[in-house]
Chain A
Amino acid sequence: GAGVSQTPSNKVTEKGKYVELRCDPISGHTALYWYRQSLGQGPEFLIYFQGTGAADDSGLPNDRFFAVRPEGSVSTLKIQRTERGDSAVYLCASSGGQAGGTQYFGPGTRLLVL
């Protein structure tokens, strides 16, 4: 079956612009996660959804970052007033939602803020 997909694969924007990153989880997965990976670092947790609601958004760095999952499937990560420090690979993962469930990752969106 299809894995997690993310679009776009690459995004170049200018400082101060608004961007949206999309994630399509594995069909039937109730949990969806966003992580950010900076160069030379491990993935860093941002937010996760159980169904439509954000179960844990403790990793969002500030109020410029926001994510939605209105129908419990596709999710969009939104970044307002982008800064050069936002440049990173944004990874999405999904799982069956049970504790300890394996998270399966998409290929990521590489965001570059000029």
Chain B
Amino acid sequence: AQSVAQPEDQVNVAEGNPLTVKCTYSVSGNPYLFWYVQYPNRGLQFLLKYITGDNLVKGSYGFEAEFNKSQTSFHLKKPSALVSDSALYFCAVRDGGGATNKLIFGTGTLLAVQP
């Protein structure tokens, strides 16, 4: 069965510092991995995804994520955090070998960037 773990409920970082939001996954086939961001009372906004190819994926708003197959991880990173990055971040996985396109989401990590 597919699953996603986001081990941190909240991440606090000072503006200008690098940030990392952690995600690990479990699938039976090759993973398709996604990061979404959710602002208060808004829907989910797509940030980036890994399907195949280069392990380092670059996405919107300066975010990037690194796929690590041996550690089954897909951590979200940004070199310099902004206060406006404060939001709820979700990691999601689709089993690339499966017949369904459904995504399995983690429980979310609240990112708080202090000025």
Listed in ascending order, the chain A residues whose CB lies under 8 Å from chain B are: 4, 31, 33, 35, 40-45, 48, 55-56, 58-59, 91, 93, 95, 97, 99-108
Say which size band chain B's interface belongs to: 20 to 34
* A105-B101 contact, Cβ under 8 Å, with A41-B107, A42-B107: no
Instruction: Report whether B102 and A102 are in contact in the complex, using a CB–CB cutoff of 8 Å.
Output: no
Give the dominant DSSP class at A's interface: loop
Chain B 24-46 interface 0/1 with A at a Cβ cutoff of 8 Å (1 = within): 00000000101010000011111
Docked complex Cα distance between A55 and B102 (Å): 10
* A102-B34 contact, Cβ under 8 Å, with A42-B90, A42-B106: yes
Instruction: Report whether A101 and B101 are in contact in the complex, using a CB–CB cutoff of 8 Å.
Output: yes
A59 partner residues in chain B, CB cutoff 8 A: 102
Q: B100 at the A/B interface (Cβ < 8 Å)?
A: yes
Listed in ascending order, the chain B residues whose CB lies under 8 Å from chain A are: 4, 32, 34, 36, 42-46, 49, 51, 90, 92, 94, 96, 99-108
* A99-B102 contact, Cβ under 8 Å, with A42-B90, A107-B42: no
Instruction: Report whether B32 and A99 are in contact in the complex, using a CB–CB cutoff of 8 Å.
Output: yes
Question: What residue of chain A has the Cβ atom nearest to residue B48's Cβ?
Answer: A102
